[in-house]
Amino acid sequence: MPQRTFSIVKPDAIRAGHAGAVLAELDKAGFRIVAIKKQSISKAQAEGFYYVHRERPFFAALTDFMSSGPLVLMVLEKENAIADLRKLMGATNPANAEEGTIRKKFATSIQENAIHGSDAEETAAFEIGYWFAGYELI
């Protein structure tokens, strides 16, 4: 059965003009776009989204970065979508990302790392519901 995951093309990749290239990688890997929107988010919205990281030393910088410019929010679907997207993204720090991964190609630092992907079924459900209404999922 197909599985859904949530993804963001982060502001660094949009600013660098890589949004289309990131979407092409997702397309090539067989992800179906269930929902997609380009949006700028507030600092408070970023804080709510990254709530699990609120105690981490990088929380303030991360939420500033995520609210620094437009991003592309997406719900994606395929068999094994959550794990397959994490693999396609590559390691959080692009210095450790494998050849061929999106972060290897487009990330510039551990913070400005081009793409987000949900890390588990429960987080995917939370993240999809945080950004999209049920009627937008088609």
Query: Which residue, judged by CB position, is nearest to Mg ion in the bound state?
Result: 119
Q: What Å distances lie between residue 86 and 40, 101, 113, CA to CA?
A: 24, 10, 13
> Considering CB distances under 5 to 8 angstroms, the limit depending on partner class, which of Mg ion, ligand ATP, none binds residue 51?
none
> Considering CB distances under 5 to 8 angstroms, the limit depending on partner class, which of Mg ion, ligand ATP, none binds residue 130?
none
Nearer to ligand ATP, 43 or 53 (CB): 53
> Considering CB distances under 5 to 8 angstroms, the limit depending on partner class, which of ligand ATP, Mg ion, none binds residue 117?
ligand ATP
| 72 bridge partner residues | 9, 38
Give percent helix, percent strand, percent coil of the chain, each to the nearest 5: 45, 20, 35
Q: Which of residues 27-46 bind ligand ATP (CB under 6 A)?
A: none
Alpha-carbon distance of 11 to 101, in angstroms, equals: 18
Nearer to Mg ion, 77 or 119 (CB): 119
Phi/psi at 133 (nearest 5 deg)? Answer: -85, 155
Comparing C-alpha atoms, which of 34, 64, 72 is closest to residue 47?
A: 64
Q: Which of residues 88-117 bind ligand ATP (CB under 6 A)?
A: 92, 110-111, 113, 116-117
In angstroms and rounded to an integer, the radius of gyration of the C-alpha atoms of the chain is 14
The reply to whether 58 sits near ligand ATP by the rule CB under 6 A is: yes
Please, what is the minimum distance in Å from the beta carbon of residue 119 to Mg ion?
A: 5
Q: Which residues bind ligand ATP (CB under 6 A)?
A: 53, 58, 62, 92, 110-111, 113, 116-117, 119
